[in-house]
Amino acid sequence: MQKEGQEKKGNKVAVVSGSSSGIGLATSLALARNGFYTYATMRNLEKSAGIIDAAAKEKLPLQLVQLDVNDERSVNSAIAKITAEQGRIDVLVNNAGYGLFGALEDLSIEEIKAQYETNFFGLIRLTQAALPLMRKQNGGIIVNVGSVAGRIGFPGTAAYTSTKFALEGLTEAISYELEPFGIKVVIVEPGVIKTNFLNGMVVPRKTSDPNSPYLQLMQQMNATLSSMRENGSSSPEVVAKAVLQAVTVENPELRYLAGEDAVTLMEMRKKAPSDEEFRQMLKQNFSQH
């Protein structure tokens, strides 16, 4: 692992948010293993043991930086540090985020706002901080980690899904804005991934209230997600591979699906004669778990 303050200006520089576990950890390691000087950033550096051990064992060009996407001072401080040490950011991977589980009526406005603050506004905050440097160097690539839930809505995930739908629109819009500056923008859309994401989902107390009119639906969805995680999900490395592909090809695509379930779902939607028939297929799938 690269010691703090050491520079490797011959390498392309990558910055990854939410690197303490799962997709962020796998992506940071994949980039470092492929020659990128990687800044693995996370809100809580106490959760960095896994990535520290892996990077040290393999002597990877990787450095940890504290960065909380919800804190403007933290974001600006991290970008200033990277700018001072490297003078460039070739790859920005916006990965930090979490899931909020529950029917819309059972969620408070505060809980929904908090979901957007991290998943959407946090991403915007970090992107805006990095863009002046990326424009100055006239090039780079931004990879937003979205979800197949940004293309397909699922019950019990209204808050989370809507942040990912918003991210789809944001990604597509800024891809036009940044193209004249040589900056490419892509979005990677994972399906269900074997990470701590589902275990770490925020489940408000009202969601499991026996008096909630949505209790049965939420229990059914929880069983479906658990089954998918155990039997049909992909590893975080599948997403890391998609990110690596996007940042190493000359002309990346706008969207990359990651995981067999994501590909299958999008094929189902594409082949369905109508939205209603696709909805019925999804409902049938949920009822099987």
Per-residue model confidence as pLDDT tens digits over 9-46: 568 999 999 999 999 999 999 999 999 999 999 999 99
Q: Which of 37, 160, 214, 256 is catalytic?
A: 160
What's at 160, amino acid-wise? Y
Please say if 37 is a catalytic residue: no
d(CA 187, CA 149): 12
Tell me the two tokens of residue 131: 């863009």
Identify the pLDDT of residue 7: 46
pTM comes to 0.92
- Name the residue among 11, 62, 66 with its Cα closest to residue 32: 62
Identify the pLDDT of residue 6: 45
Specify the CATH number of the domain 13-287.
Answer: 3.40.50.720
CB 19 within 8 A of CB 25: yes
Q: How big is the CA angle at 34 (ends 30 and 35), to the nearest 5 degrees?
A: 125
Q: Which residues of the chain have pLDDT under 50?
A: 3-7
